[in-house]
Structure 1
Amino acid sequence: MTKQVKPVLQAKILLVEDDEDDYIITRSHLEELTSFDSHLTWVTNSVEGLQKLTEGNFDVCLLDYQLGAETGLSLLKQAVESGISTPIIMLTGQPDKQLDLQALEYGAADFLVKSELSEARFARAIRYALSRREFELERLNRLRLEADNRSKDRFLAHLSHELRTPLSSILGYTELLLESNHTEDARPELNIILNNGKHLLSLLNDILDLSKITANKLELRPEPTSLRHLILDIYTLLKVTAIDNGLELTFNSLTPLPVLITVDGTRLRQVLINLIYNAIKFTDAGSITVDLWTQQDAAKEMLMFRITDTGVGIPQRQLKDIFAPFTQIEDYLTRKKGGAGLGLAISAELIQRMGGRIDVASEEGKGSVFTFSLDPGDITDTQRKPLSLEPSLNNNGGAHSKLALTGEVLIVDDLADLRKLSAHWIQATGASVDFAVNGAEAIAKVKHKIASGSYYDLILMDLHMPGMGGREATVAIRETGYQYPVVALTAAMAKGIRQQLTALGFNDVLSKPITKNQLYRALRCYLTGNSALTDNSAADSLPLHFLVVEDDTEAAQLMQILLESLGVKTTLAHSAEECMRELALLHRFDRILLDLGLPDSDGLQLIERIEHNYPDNIVIVVSGHEHDIAASGSAIVQQSLLKPITKQALNSLVLTCR
């Protein structure tokens, strides 16, 4: 049996000692330490000692207490105050407990008496000092890494803002032109601008997602999700792109599919769009086929996806690298396709986090097949149906094509283009607008309104402006006594920002680039008026549809009877999970009446889940005590009803929805 040999430690040691005899004795001690391979440097005074320590090339410093007319304590103190991390062992000729304590208080790693030195004692002190240095270096590296990560996060937040701001103008004005009646001849060119602007936005989102993955900050939010709705959304989105490229896009279910699955629908949609769009991009002729089925995998039933294309294919030598970040296929046929090479890397990471895996098979000139699995949650008792991509005829909760609103909105943004774009959308609803170019001007305008006895019904406040930003301005506006809604506009949607802004006095936050749907959701929540279909007869033909979330069966049934007597179709849910399942199937109700005391979830947490996944809904809180709507920090909570609920209260609510 081979005897294990302990590794010899390498140690660069600085000796600060003014006595040559003591230098020789110390060197002899070090030479006798067989467990160390030490390199000794000797200096005779504190000035040279501090200079050497500042250079930072030593693992340990042995410092004599008595250096001529001064003591080593002064050098020890200077070294610690200068941030020198090299551990220092104090040496003295006589034992002195008070001196020992003083040296340790000043920051010495150890205290040794020269006359009592033994090989074991000396070795232990140096070994401890080396361990302490290693720990200190690890701590400094960790602090440096954390500082670097904070710098990177700040840079990405700044980059996000700088890119999203011009994209807001590009996308918004292009959509505005496409909606007008004066640009028929330019529609193809405008669609190109719009599609390329959306492509730039998707690249920006990919970069931010990869940064979150790298920093382990990307969070999944699994919720009950309608698989059919998700697939129908993707098919509707991508079929036009496929047709424009002369390709056929088909979806097939190889087995009956669960009606509801529990996944992060936003991230699954992102993965499928990435893979299908790639297939379209790298296919010049033929088809893209997406197959779905369920498959038993060990003890778990998994949901499977297979995307098959008839495109250019991928060289075998590059298959192992395609899921690495920033990797693209370097083929003369595909260089023209562009992209940042992030989509597949992000998709692979998301699939892994959703409990699955992804594989690829490909042949140059014949096409590629991407197959991936994911955990759909417990689907044992879930209803199953073949996939149908026919548009649903079900009531969608009264989708409204036109808003009729009243009130005045103050738009605070330093960019004239974005002020003009937002104003056009707002004025189309019937509301009026006013403008401020920075926080200081916004404060002045609010004060002027208050002095004249009037107010703005809503303030849209950009957070990042020269001079005074939106945060400081909103705090100052709240101090004037202004109690109406303030909505933040920002490109930097970091984790926890909604809670931070709520604490400052904001009611909601919208991410840039702002879409018309986002803006109209906020206007519906905060301005008075009606959301009505342009055709009033059509509006009359569609009954209102409410979702009542109440765990008390008798109370829920009573509310259903009262609402249906008022002509309102009513769906009941007795828990948070039932609520999310109903929303997964229908997506939007005219109102959600939500009891805060549910058996499986805190009501406020459920509101947050609804807002994240189905933000076009409006929630009416039903509670046994007064609920502070502003304190909830949610944009979708419009009002509260106090139990017991009367028919008169419900009738008033119904009238505001018609």
Structure 2
Amino acid sequence: MMDVIKLLIIDDDDADKMHFRRALRTCGFNYELVEQDNADQTNSDFLNTFDCIFLDYLLPSSNGLSLLKKIRDCGIKTPIVIITSQGNESIAVELMKAGASDYIVKNNINGHLLGQVLRNMLYISSMIREKEQAERALRESESRLAEAQRIAKIGNWELNVAQNTLYCSAETYNILEFPQDEVVLTKEKVFDLINRNDWDLIHASLQKALEGKPFSVDFSIVTRYGLKYTHSQGYAVKGANGEFERIVGTLQDITERKLAEQEISNARKEAETSMKVREVFLANMSHEIRTPMNAILGFTRLLYETNPTQEQKEFIDAIHFSGENLLVIINDILDLSKLQSGKMSIEKFEFNLHELIAGIVAVMRQKAQEKGIRLLSNVGNLVPLVIKGDPVRLNQILTNLLSNAIKFTEKGTVKLEVTGAASENQDILIEFKIADSGIGIPVEKQAVIFEAFTQASSDTTRKYGGTGLGLAIVKNLVELQAGTISVSSQPDSGSTFTVHLPFEQVNTGTPTPSSLTPAHALTDELTGISVLVAEDNPVNQLLVKRILEKVGCKIDIASNGMDAITRISTKRYDMVLMDVQMPEMDGYEATTHIRNKLSQPACNVPIIAMTAHAFGTDAIKCISAGMNDYISKPFQPEDLYGKIVKHLNNNNWHEVKERPENILKQSIDLSSMYVLENGSFLNELVSVYSKQTPELIEKLENHLWSHDFEGMRTVCQRIRSFYGVLRLHVMDNALQEVGVLLNAEDPDLEYVRITALVNNIILLISAINEEVRRNLGQTGCAVIR
């Protein structure tokens, strides 16, 4: 069934309307007809409801032409057919120009004609509707695009290369902050906004597009309201002739992102500065607290040897116990700081695991017995004797966990159980389980006890003390070694901490012999040696003096670095203990002066640093300055004895056994140079060595301090080829040794040794060039033996 079409006829003549109705009945359409005498009372909404309007040309109030224009001016797009009694073609043309869809002559109206007219009008009406829908869809699409561009702050643009014209979207105008209804953007106007420093970048990007390559570029612009950062990308489009004629692209406002990046960068710099300030503070705090702590703990040990009364022993015990507790807190804070800043390093070397565990248990068992608690330990059959890993950190982990277990257990048992099982890559995964029968931990608190400065409850802190740092440090140390830690506990039922740590297996069935020397052997070797103690603190001067005089050492005291240099210059010492932080001249500067300025044998005296700082970088700084070793305050007398004996027997500590100039006198063979008997060549060789040396040294030092191991390898290869003509075996040996360390799996772990070797290589380079200048530059050119 055909749809009903809605028709309107506006005619004041009833006879004409009757004739129209009769003809309409035979037009072949289902219709609904509305009749009106004039259009004065009609409105646009009413007229828009019809599929077709028939309008009489002559009406009482106006003619059809003016009425037609009025209707079209109202925006009515409904097809309008004019009914006229005249067949004048000029009138018809005027009507069509005014917006008529068609016209018919009254005398010719019949059903067939109306049917044909209606079919045409319905087609026109359909076309109008489709056009309106398309226009509406286009407007909606453009609106959505404009909205999306506005939200994303991305506009689009198109540059016609041939015509040098520029099209910009509304959002592009917004980004450039030009009113679109007032200004027509041109290429020149846009370039006036671009920061002049970015002009070359923009020109290069446009040129890249014309070469058929897409471009992407960030640049800044200065608008009427200030600086903006923008990003543009696009490509060129070819025309019908195959040439690039248009460049199309987008423009994005990235100011917020850039400012955010700058804020992040500034925040990172502030954090780094804050971290450095914290490190300096902690280093100073460490020094200021450890220095008097060294005296407190040291003198309490000496007091024990003065046959104190029972009451005096109790007082000494209280002082020593409090000092040790304060030292634990200081060490915990420093350890946590190093872990948080990523400066805690993990070493890897072979050690006897069974001996380590036995030592820890022996120390902890004494504390357990003081509380009336049993401490049990069991090491499984699958746990190897010797493994490769970090025994210092393992000791720290187990000591901390056992100490906590004993602290929070009032009665009963603490047990350490160690088991092992093979894992991937020939490694072994060892499980350490520490169980106690203590107060336990509520389930809801078990997630927070590994956080810094956190304990299960405030009552725990008041009753048992502590800083709440121990477990946080343990967790960080475990994870730093790719391990895991977990806890299982119930209140009043004890706790079990389980640690899994991977270690490298060692292909040996025999344990590594202990490196500890018996105490009596150490003291025997120290008897009669001459030691200079460079220390500005009078209390520590007295402490070190008493500790060393007790084992038969002869002691001199220097109060600063200058004093130490003066004494070493005038008297021979077997050992120097050098405090690193002294007035007038610190220990680093004094050591550098001794190594580089003094003559033999003073320049080779073993120097051990005494430092109250506690960061790994301090060790590197000591070695770099030329010290043989270092010991941290406060120290145990036995540790100090061991360090001194070690360097009395081996005073090179990864250094060449003699000073470079003495080695050269025995090792340089310049015979191949003199065979040439070419003085100009020899002089040119001297010149080349003199010019190239500073560059080689500077590069080697820069790579060393930036941990650029690849750069060091390259420079060492250049040094080998550069000095190879001299056939200097000691240089080859030094380069070969440092090369082995640089090619290690993780050279950072060998950084201290690398530093010592590189410093020796630098000394060798300087000494070689001095010898070359002094000997090759001479006329006689005698061979150095």
Give the TM-score taking structure 1 as reference length: 0.61
- Rounded Cα–Cα distance in structure 1 between residues aligned with 2:311 and 2:761: 49
Question: Residue type matched to 1:175 in 2?
Answer: R
Structure 2 residue aligned with 1:488: 609
Kept after mapping to 1: 8 A contact 2:352/2:387: yes
1:471 aligns with 2:588: yes
Q: What's the CA shift for 1:271? A: 0.6
Higher strand share: 1
Distance 1:420 1:629, change over 3 A: farther
Q: Equivalent of 1:357, from 484, 499, 517?
A: 484
Q: What's the CA shift for 1:268? A: 0.8
Show CA shifts across 1:316-370 (max 9, x none). Answer: 2211111111111215355221111111111112222323211111121221111
1:410 aligns with 2:532: yes
Structure 2 residue aligned with 1:436: 558
Q: Secondary structure at the match of 1:435?
A: strand
Q: Equivalent of 2:500, from 368, 373, 387?
A: 373
- Rounded Cα–Cα distance in structure 2 between residues aligned with 1:270 and 1:164: 19
Q: Secondary structure at the match of 1:422?
A: helix
Show CA shifts across 1:422-445 (max 9, x none). Answer: 101211232211112223333444
1:276 aligns with 2:402: yes
Q: What's the CA shift for 1:125? A: 5.5
Q: Percent of counterpart pairs with the same letter? A: 29
Structure 2 residue aligned with 1:461: 578
Structure 2 residue aligned with 1:580: none
Q: 5 Å matches for 1:547-586?
A: none
Q: Secondary structure at the match of 2:413?
A: strand
Q: Secondary structure at the match of 2:351?
A: strand
1:305 aligns with 2:432: yes
Structure 2 residue aligned with 1:109: 220
Q: What's the CA shift for 1:506? A: 2.4
Q: Secondary structure at the match of 1:284?
A: coil
Question: Residue type matched to 1:520 in 2?
Answer: Y
Q: Secondary structure at the match of 1:225?
A: strand
- Rounded Cα–Cα distance in structure 2 between residues aligned with 1:119 and 1:339: 55
- Rounded Cα–Cα distance in structure 1 between residues aligned with 2:630 and 2:542: 20
1:427 aligns with 2:549: yes
Structure 1 residue aligned with 2:244: none
- Rounded Cα–Cα distance in structure 2 between residues aligned with 1:395 and 1:158: 33
- Rounded Cα–Cα distance in structure 1 between residues aligned with 2:449 and 2:173: 49
1:515 aligns with 2:629: no
- Rounded Cα–Cα distance in structure 1 between residues aligned with 2:331 and 2:611: 15
1:158 aligns with 2:284: yes
Structure 2 residue aligned with 1:322: 449
Show CA shifts across 1:227-261 (max 9, x none). Answer: 11011110111111000111110102354421122
- Rounded Cα–Cα distance in structure 2 between residues aligned with 1:632 and 1:178: 48
1:138 aligns with 2:264: yes
Distance 1:328 1:41, change over 3 A: farther
Structure 2 residue aligned with 1:640: none
Q: Secondary structure at the match of 1:302?
A: strand
Structure 2 residue aligned with 1:581: none
1:341 aligns with 2:463: no
- Rounded Cα–Cα distance in structure 1 between residues aligned with 2:389 and 2:358: 16
Show CA shifts across 1:389-420 (max 9, x none). Answer: xxx99997665353343232221212111111
Q: What's the CA shift for 1:200? A: 1.9
- Rounded Cα–Cα distance in structure 1 between residues aligned with 2:250 and 2:647: 71
Q: What's the CA shift for 1:96? A: 7.4
Q: What's the CA shift for 1:171? A: 1.3
Q: Secondary structure at the match of 2:527?
A: strand
1:500 aligns with 2:621: yes
- Rounded Cα–Cα distance in structure 2 between residues aligned with 1:194 and 1:119: 67
Question: Residue type matched to 2:498 in 1?
Answer: T
Question: Residue type matched to 1:440 in 2?
Answer: M
- Rounded Cα–Cα distance in structure 1 between residues aligned with 2:199 and 2:315: 77
Structure 1 residue aligned with 2:365: 239
Q: Secondary structure at the match of 2:446?
A: helix
Q: Equivalent of 2:330, from 204, 207, 212?
A: 204
Show CA shifts across 1:360-388 (max 9, x none). Answer: 11121221111121113247x77599xxx
Kept after mapping to 2: 8 A contact 1:223/1:262: yes
Higher helix share: 2
Show CA shifts across 1:549-577 (max 9, x none). Answer: xxxxxxxxxxxxxxxxxxxxxxxxxxxxx
- Rounded Cα–Cα distance in structure 2 between residues aligned with 1:499 and 1:199: 28
Structure 1 residue aligned with 2:171: 33
Question: Residue type matched to 2:551 in 1?
Answer: T
Q: Secondary structure at the match of 2:610?
A: strand
Kept after mapping to 2: 8 A contact 1:407/1:527: no
Q: What's the CA shift for 1:119? A: 13
Kept after mapping to 2: 8 A contact 1:458/1:485: yes
Gaps of 5+ in 1: 12-28, 43-90, 386-391, 530-595, 614-626, 634-658
Q: In angstroms, what is the RMSD of aligned CA positions?
A: 4.7
Gaps of 5+ in 2: 1-143, 154-167, 180-186, 202-217, 234-247, 651-732, 751-755, 763-785
- Rounded Cα–Cα distance in structure 2 between residues aligned with 1:129 and 1:460: 59
- Rounded Cα–Cα distance in structure 2 between residues aligned with 1:433 and 1:286: 51
Q: What's the CA shift for 1:39? A: 13
Q: Secondary structure at the match of 1:375?
A: strand
Show CA shifts across 1:262-299 (max 9, x none). Answer: 22111111111111100100111111111121246789
Distance 1:632 1:251, change over 3 A: farther
Q: Secondary structure at the match of 2:368?
A: helix
1:225 aligns with 2:351: yes
Q: 5 Å matches for 1:636-655?
A: none
Distance 1:99 1:605, change over 3 A: closer
Larger Rg: 2
Q: Equivalent of 2:389, from 263, 274, 278?
A: 263
Kept after mapping to 2: 8 A contact 1:230/1:269: yes
Q: What's the CA shift for 1:527? A: 4.9
Question: Residue type matched to 1:109 in 2?
Answer: S
Show CA shifts across 1:33-53 (max 9, x none). Answer: 2997x89899xxxxxxxxxxx
Kept after mapping to 2: 8 A contact 1:100/1:111: no
Distance 1:273 1:131, change over 3 A: same
Question: Residue type matched to 1:415 in 2?
Answer: N
Q: Secondary structure at the match of 1:376?
A: strand
Distance 1:95 1:398, change over 3 A: closer
- Rounded Cα–Cα distance in structure 2 between residues aligned with 1:119 and 1:248: 71
Distance 1:329 1:92, change over 3 A: same
Structure 2 residue aligned with 1:170: 296
Give the TM-score taking structure 2 as reference length: 0.51
Kept after mapping to 2: 8 A contact 1:257/1:384: no
Q: What's the CA shift for 1:128? A: 4.7
- Rounded Cα–Cα distance in structure 1 between residues aligned with 2:759 and 2:309: 43
Total equivalences in the alignment: 465
